[in-house]
């Protein structure tokens, strides 16, 4: 049962020096230091459980997200936990519609990343209190209760609450079998770890050999900085993985619209399944234009890791601007907003292929895609979840990958908790830990 009053929220700026080895490098982010604004909430319940949440960042700027978490903390500290999750839609709106703070959003940018970190901690604590991994909490939840977590404001022209209810009700059919299937085989994944932009050809070859040996059949290559370089690297990877394995490309927003069409057309011979983030993540009509132009080449459009909110996802779907929808557990307003996007994707019959990697993104998003398969999409066609093999050792409940599939987590919670030692070691020196307590006193 849900219990306790929230008595404290703390936030820490945690940074990992991934840029030193070019891990995570792409055409736009050449020196990422994978980082997180890491939130912990505590209640006065005697069970000693805490909620852990994070949002992902690339190093500099994490301190800004931390500031936004501090500004939002007033909405959660000194509240009954039952009051928060008992009417989660109301609480979500309070966070995202604060009469003053919404001016620096609304529902986008730094303030929304901070919202994600806080709400991820709330979901972690809720799942822990119920003694279930988050995906199972969602799968077992009554459709009406699930709907009560979603803010339908601004999306009812695409998806009404009644339609969503029917989908969730329908999703109950065969749920048990799909859950068993996931527990046995896991959710299919693809790897981005072989071909970061900053890796040498030799490194790329060695990593492909190892990944193939480990059973990977789906590979993503970073492109967009230099065309002859991309042709050479795509040729190399295609040769390594053979004609039958899947190849995806990711430009991380590098091009203008026409430039994207021209560039990707020159990579068509390598038979990529999709081009990811070909242009500005905000350019919905630009994506639609690229999508139309590349369709005859059999190349789809994937995007979403920097899509601000459900409203933009709605428009991407309405404009037929994407073929693969990439939710992100730390960009949108946590599970609440992701639920609305999963349901819209189902309605528009677009496969969801989550964005993951970074720090903690695999740990979190696996729960959402498991729920999507078991209770919403009921299909694995054209579906897979991104995987990157970095930084899992810092988590108390790291992902388990078997035969290139995510095995459903068994521990209660949202897999968000980092090891204390890791947080202590990687705390940004200028950051420290900030804590808001029930007394109003900040430490």
User: Which of 147, 264 has the CB closer to Mg ion?
Assistant: 264
Give one DSSP letter per residue of 121-183, joined into a string: HHHHHHHHHHTSBHHHHHHHS-HHHHHTT---TTTTTT--HHHHHHHHHHHTTTHHHHHHHHH
**Beta carbon of residue 358, minimum distance to Mg ion (angstroms, whole number):** 10
Q: Return the structure tokens found at 234.
A: 């795509």
Which stretch, 9-17, 32-40, 268-276, 331-339, contacts Mg ion (CB under 5 A)?
Answer: 268-276
Q: Which of residues 121-140 bind Mg ion (CB under 5 A)?
A: none
Helices (H), 355-412: 361-371
> Interior CA angle at 85 toward 82 and 90, to 5°?
115
Q: Which of residues 270-309 bind Mg ion (CB under 5 A)?
A: 276
User: Which of 33, 250 has the CB closer to Mg ion?
Assistant: 250
Contact (Cβ atoms closer than 8 angstroms) between residue 195 and residue 219: yes
**Beta carbon of residue 388, minimum distance to Mg ion (angstroms, whole number):** 10
Measured between alpha carbons, how far is 54 from 118 in angstroms, rounded to an integer?
Answer: 7
The Cα-based distances of 159 to 32, 313, 341 in angstroms read 37, 12, 10
Which stretch, 76-84, 167-175, 269-277, 430-438, contacts Mg ion (CB under 5 A)?
Answer: 269-277
Q: Which of residues 78-97 bind Mg ion (CB under 5 A)?
A: none
**Beta carbon of residue 222, minimum distance to Mg ion (angstroms, whole number):** 8
User: Which of 250, 337 has the CB closer to Mg ion?
Assistant: 250
Q: Which of residues 159-218 bind Mg ion (CB under 5 A)?
A: none
User: Which of 18, 422 has the CB closer to Mg ion?
Assistant: 18
Which stretch, 47-55, 72-80, 248-256, 338-346, contacts Mg ion (CB under 5 A)?
Answer: 248-256
| List of residues 6+ apart from 292 with CB closer than 8 A | none
**Beta carbon of residue 273, minimum distance to Mg ion (angstroms, whole number):** 14
User: Which of 276, 363 has the CB closer to Mg ion?
Assistant: 276
367 is catalytic: no
Q: Find residue 208's DSSP bridge partners.
A: none
Which stretch, 98-106, 113-121, 245-253, 425-433, contacts Mg ion (CB under 5 A)?
Answer: 245-253
Measured between alpha carbons, how far is 54 from 358 in angstroms, rounded to an integer?
Answer: 12
Which stretch, 207-215, 250-258, 264-272, 372-380, contacts Mg ion (CB under 5 A)?
Answer: 250-258
**Beta carbon of residue 216, minimum distance to Mg ion (angstroms, whole number):** 17
Cα 425 versus chain centre, distance: 25
Q: Considering just the CA atoms, what is the radius of gyration of the chain in Å?
A: 21
Q: Which residue in the shown chain puts its C-beta closest to Mg ion?
A: 250
- CB count in 10 Å sphere of residue 186: 20
Residues contacting Mg ion: total by CB under 5 A: 2
Catalytic residue among 222, 390, 392, 394: 222
Measured between alpha carbons, how far is 25 from 32 in angstroms, rounded to an integer?
Answer: 6
109-130 and 334-348 are packed helices; what angle lies between their axes, rounded to 10 degrees? 100
User: Which of 92, 406 has the CB closer to Mg ion?
Assistant: 406
**Beta carbon of residue 252, minimum distance to Mg ion (angstroms, whole number):** 6
**Beta carbon of residue 303, minimum distance to Mg ion (angstroms, whole number):** 8
- CB count in 10 Å sphere of residue 119: 29
Contact (Cβ atoms closer than 8 angstroms) between residue 423 and residue 12: yes
Name the 3-class secondary structure at 84: helix
Query: Of 130, 151, 250, 283, which one interacts with Mg ion (CB under 5 A)?
Result: 250
Which among 174, 166, 164 has a CA at the least distance from the CA of 139? Answer: 174
Contact (Cβ atoms closer than 8 angstroms) between residue 12 and residue 369: no
222 is catalytic: yes
User: Which of 88, 196 has the CB closer to Mg ion?
Assistant: 196
Measured between alpha carbons, how far is 245 from 219 in angstroms, rounded to an integer?
Answer: 8
**Beta carbon of residue 195, minimum distance to Mg ion (angstroms, whole number):** 12
User: Which of 72, 341 has the CB closer to Mg ion?
Assistant: 341
Name the 3-class secondary structure at 121: helix
Which among 168, 144, 147, 145 has a CA at the least distance from the CA of 156? Answer: 147
Catalytic residue among 355, 367, 394, 426: 355
Binding site for Mg ion (CB under 5 A): 250, 276
Q: Which residues are catalytic?
A: 222, 355
């Amino acid at each position: 049962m849900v219990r306790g009053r929230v008595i404290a929220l703390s936030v820490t700026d945690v940074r990992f020096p991934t840029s030193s080895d070019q891990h995570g490098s792409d055409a736009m982010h050449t020196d990422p230091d994978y980082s997180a604004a890491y939130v912990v909430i505590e209640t006065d319940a005697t069970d000693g459980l805490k909620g852990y949440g994070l949002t992902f960042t690339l190093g500099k700027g994490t301190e800004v997200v931390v500031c936004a978490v501090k500004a939002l903390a007033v909405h959660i500290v000194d509240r009954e936990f039952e009051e928060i999750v008992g009417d989660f839609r109301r609480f979500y709106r309070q966070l995202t519609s604060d009469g003053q703070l919404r001016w620096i959003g609304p529902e986008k940018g730094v303030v929304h990343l901070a919202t994600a970190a806080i709400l991820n901690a709330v979901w972690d604590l809720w799942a822990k209190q119920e003694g279930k991994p988050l995906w199972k909490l969602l799968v077992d939840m009554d459709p009406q209760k699930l709907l009560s977590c979603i803010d339908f404001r601004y999306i009812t022209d695409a998806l009404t609450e009644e339609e969503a209810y029917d989908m969730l009700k329908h999703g109950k059919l065969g749920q048990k079998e799909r859950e068993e299937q996931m527990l046995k085989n896991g959710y299919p994944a693809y790897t981005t770890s072989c071909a970061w932009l900053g890796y040498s050809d030799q490194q790329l070859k060695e990593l492909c050999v190892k990944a193939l040996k480990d059973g990977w059949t789906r590979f993503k290559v970073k492109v967009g900085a230099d065309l002859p370089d991309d042709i050479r690297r795509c040729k190399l990877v295609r040769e390594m993985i053979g004609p039958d394995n899947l190849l995806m490309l990711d430009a991380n927003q590098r091009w203008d619209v026409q430039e994207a069409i021209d560039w990707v057309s020159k990579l068509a011979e390598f038979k990529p399944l999709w081009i990811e983030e070909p242009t500005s993540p905000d350019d919905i009509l630009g994506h639609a234009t690229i999508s139309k132009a590349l369709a005859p080449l059999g190349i789809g459009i994937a995007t979403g890791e920097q899509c601000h909110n459900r409203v933009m996802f709605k428009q991407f779907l309405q404009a037929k601007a994407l073929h693969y929808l990439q939710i992100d557990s730390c960009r949108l307003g946590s599970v609440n907003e992701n639920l609305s996007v999963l349901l819209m994707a189902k309605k528009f019959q677009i496969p969801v292929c989550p964005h993951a990697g970074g720090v903690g993104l695999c740990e979190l998003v696996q729960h959402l895609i498991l729920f999507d398969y078991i209770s919403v999409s009921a299909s694995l066609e054209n579906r897979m979840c991104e995987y990157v093999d970095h930084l899992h050792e810092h988590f108390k409940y790291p992902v388990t990958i078997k035969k290139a599939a995510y095995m459903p987590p068994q521990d209660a919670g949202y897999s968000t908790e980092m090891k204390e030692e890791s947080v202590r070691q990687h705390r940004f020196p200028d950051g420290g830990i900030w804590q808001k307590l029930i007394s109003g006193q900040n430490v």
